[in-house]
Chains A and B, each alone.
Chain A
Amino acid sequence: MLRAELRAAVGTIELEVVLEVPEGDCLALAGPSGAGKTTILRLLAGLAQPDRGRIECGGELWLREDGASLPAERRRCGLVFQHYALFPHLTAAQNVAYGLRDVPRAQRRAGALELLERFGAQHVADDRPRTLSGGERQRVALARALASEPKLLLLDEPLAALDPRTGARAARELGAFLREADIPTVLVTHDFGQAALLGDRVAVIDAGRIVQQGGAAELAAAPASGFVADFTGANVLSGVARAGEAGLTRIDLDGGGAVVSTDPAEGRVAVSVYPWEVELEPPGANHAGSARNHVSATVTTVTVLGARVRVGLSAPQPLSAEITDASLDRLGLKPGASVTATWKAAATRLSPG
């Protein structure tokens, strides 16, 4: 169990977070760069000192309220750096053996090989880091971090240094490993998708504060603020809400146009709608469906994502829709085409703007 309260001034932001991660759980700290995510990891590892705080992990007190703290080398805390930080002058096996501090010297190589094998990297045991691929480096770094039998595992952007193809495979392997791990893990990512994939819980962090915390699906379905909605990938529009007809809320959008929502709200709001809730119709089509919201727009971009297509739209406020490639063919959409974007009142979420 990790319990931490941290306060620190980092550049222009004031960091203030409370974290609680049970054994075997993975908390994903997700947020834009500069939000203070990596700083939190450094504070937990003891590589930086907070202005005030308390860290308790695995029954040990690492940092007391009065500022007394265990130095980094005595906090059993495995940290996997963003670029892995493998020692360039040592082979992969020697890198891992470096962390085997409690193992007698003669048994360190065997121990290192065992760890490398666990991560499927025994074939690079005698290679130097500069000859390894990104995926291999990550496995070695993970094996090394676990060599010291840490009571807390920290991962800084574990997939960011990998190319997309390696990244997908590494993500699956890392996910499988984290499900089995029996220590608390905190990982940091700027990508909500990765946070959702790897974290049991996701904490969205902005300007040094956790703005919302919960399961990834929960966050995407009920974002507490426009920032969270935006970060989870939703369209975010701004406007002013007031009670409308039939028990719905009517929002007059900034820049013109109006939409309705089933969420109650009053005053300035952030309106969020997921791209996959937005459907596209030719302009002037008679609106047969149940969708209550209709916004005239011009297509600006068409991006194919496998079988799905992300369509960027120019309207009074920019918008995006995610449709199937069959719809794309049917509508014959190209940049410059006029369309009507429609979505349901129930898919329109409101949060304080």
Chain B
Amino acid sequence: MRGRGWFAALLVLTLAVALVFLVLPVVAIFTHTTPAKLISSLGDPTSTDALRLSLETSTIAVAVIVLVGTPAAYLLATREFPGKQLVVTLVELPLVLPPAVAGIGLLASLGPGGFLGPTLENLGIPLSLNTAAVVVALTFVAAPFYLRQGQAAFGALDKSWLEASRTLGASEGKTFARVAIPAAIPGLAAGLALAWGRALGEFGATLMFAGSFRGITQTAPLAIYGEFATDFDGALALSAVLVAVSGALLLAVKFLVGSGAFGGAAR
């Protein structure tokens, strides 16, 4: 009994340490100044421009990721082909790339001096120091989160659901749209939230690939970095908004998955 009590105390203590350490900085963002000051700092045009840009670019990036990533994840989850493990690893690689490396890679491939730069320029979509470049950077770093989660969600589906749909006269495409996606929605939504959260927080790759120009490429994290030396309250206010948005995303996903709003995945 004494041994067990001692171990239980240790478990509680470690969790308490982790909790305090992880929550303290978040709490400080809201308590360092008064709420009134936080709200008034948000009126600063630098902050509003940055927030608007962050929401716009991350929404576009997530839309692109979902559009392309959903069928791609389905393919990875439902087909076997030679070299599949290699493909999966390559797709997941950006997860572990340092953001600075991602930025350099994007510059070297899609930037004005990159090997696809001239082609993009000729096509009229140059990617340098513009908003499109921000979207590309966000898509690059956030896509693997969705692909990974999507592959897991589709992989967890009962294969016989897909086969039953075929025997009931639905083509593969219709089966994908009417059975696979609705049944995998909780997992896909979780992947979407992770990707969106990652895109909202993106810093390094955006800074290197798109720069930090107010209203054009300066997303909220870049604005926080740009302001914290001169206007700490403004940086705090922006941070508070990002915390709120990210937290809301996380909660929304947990609620949707937990409530079984999508019918769940039970047989």
Contact = CB atoms under 8 A, between A and B. Distances in A.
Contact of B183 (A45, A87, A147): A87
Q: Pick the most buried of A84, A88, A98: most chain B CB atoms within 10 A of its CB.
A: A88
B266 interface: yes
Given A81-B164, A85-B158, A148 B169 contact: yes
Contact of B163 (A72, A78, A130): A72
Contacts of A129: 266-267
Q: Pick the most buried of B169, B170, B171, B265: most chain A CB atoms within 10 A of its CB.
A: B169
B164 A87 contact: yes
Q: Pick the most buried of B164, B170, B182, B263: most chain A CB atoms within 10 A of its CB.
A: B164
B167 interface: yes
Contacts of A88: 161, 183, 263-267
A85 B162 CA distance: 9
Contacts of B160: 81, 83, 85
A87 to B, nearest CB: 6
Given A73-B170, A87-B183, A88-B183, A79 B164 contact: yes
A73 B267 contact: no
A101 B164 CA distance: 14
A79 B265 contact: no
A73 B167 contact: yes
B165 interface: yes
B28 to A, nearest CB: 43
A278 interface: no
Interface in B133-190: 158, 160-161, 163-171, 178-179, 182-183, 185
B161 A85 contact: yes
B179 A78 contact: no
A45 B267 contact: no
A113 B68 CA distance: 38
A98 B174 CA distance: 11
A202 interface: no
29 contacts: A47-B167, A72-B163, A74-B169, A76-B169, A77-B167, A79-B163, A79-B164, A81-B163, A81-B164, A85-B160, A86-B267, A88-B266, A89-B182, A90-B182, A98-B168, A99-B168, A99-B169, A101-B169, A101-B170, A128-B263, A128-B264, A129-B267, A130-B264, A130-B266, A144-B164, A145-B168, A147-B168, A148-B168, A148-B169
Given A45-B163, A47-B167, A88-B266, 7 more contacts: A71-B166, A74-B169, A77-B167, A86-B267, A87-B182, A98-B165, A144-B168
